[in-house]
Amino acid sequence: MPENFDFGSTENAVYSNHYFKMHVPFDDSWYVKSQEEMKEIAKVGKELIESDSYKRALEASEINNAYLFTLFKYGPDDLFAYNPSLSIVAENTKMYPHVKRGRTYLQEVQKALSLTTVSYEFDMIDEEFIIGKYSFDMMNVTLDYLGLDIKQQYYTTISKGFSLSIILSYTTETQKAKLESMLNTIVFSEGLSKTKNYTIL
């Protein structure tokens, strides 16, 4: 990681990351995962991968991965059928010179998810999603896990030698609408946010 890399911090219901000049306002009734909890989630995901060789490659690449921010609707003590979430993940792409844009990175994500024991369906979206000066490529993912029809939206761009991915996970249209409303308040450029009283550095 670069010396000035920033994992970010949360204050007053805003996640801020100065390395990417990104501020993410969120509903403060939702539950923010700690770095330790995010590592446990990643560990569970790794255990779903069938290929031993790919597991070893994934373990080696973990030093280049940064789980920046994960937000869940419910906390660990709540009861729920499914816990919708918004996650932000960065991965160093310097070892992958062919990854020049989000779409190429998402193709690699598709390959990785296809190696797990879970059955996925993928839909790469042709249009781009613009946040500030960044153009994000998009991929929709569906999976049937433990009887739940789970849907995910991946938004990925390349910035400062990293892939930067925003991932929405949900099962209902109501959950999707809430997550997209938070997605639409993310700010990457300098200046004052229109929805929150803070200034991006």
pLDDT score of 35: 63
What tens digit of pLDDT does each residue of 146-158 get?
788 999 999 999 9
Task: Answer whether 138's CB lies under 8 Å from 130's CB.
Answer: no
Q: What is the mean pLDDT of the chain?
A: 83
Q: Once rounded to an integer, what is the mean pLDDT over residues 130-151?
A: 91
Kind of pairing between the strands at 14-17 and 22-25:
antiparallel
Q: Once rounded to an integer, what is the mean pLDDT over residues 130-149?
A: 90
Alpha carbon distance 102, 85 (integer Å): 21
* Backbone dihedral angles phi then psi of residue 60, each to the nearest 5 degrees: -65, -30
pLDDT of residue 178 exceeding 50, the answer is: yes
**Buried b vs exposed e over 164-201: b needs ≥16 C-beta within 10 Å?**
bbbbbbbeeeebbebbeebbebbbbeeeebeebeeebe
What tens digit of pLDDT does each residue of 156-169 get?
999 988 999 999 99
pLDDT score of 36: 66
